[in-house]
Amino acid sequence: MKLFIYFLIVAAFGLLIYNTTLLNFSNLLDGDSGVALIGVLASLCVIALMLILLVSRAIAEKKGR
């Protein structure tokens, strides 16, 4: 499970970089740039949630001992 979480973090980071290259900073909400902005925000959410999951699993493991 831990390996799968790390895989999701790396995949989300890759998508974050890809979507960042698609952004048009002069007009962020127009056309493909708006979709890329949503992709960037979704990737950041996935990374944050997976990091929270890793921390909570570590706490649960320490508490269970």
pTM of the predicted protein model: 0.89
Amino acid at 15: L
Contacts of 5 (CB under 8 A, 6+ apart): 50, 53, 54
What is the residue extent of each domain of the chain? 2-64
Mean pLDDT, residues 10-34 taken together: 94
Is residue 65 pLDDT above 80, yes or no?
Answer: no
Nearest to 40 by CA among 56, 29, 51: 29
Which pLDDT score is estimated for 64? 79
Q: Evaluate whether 36 touches 19 at the Cβ level (below 8 Å).
A: yes
Q: Evaluate whether 31 touches 11 at the Cβ level (below 8 Å).
A: no
In degrees and rounded to multiples of 5, residue 43 shows phi and psi of: -65, -40
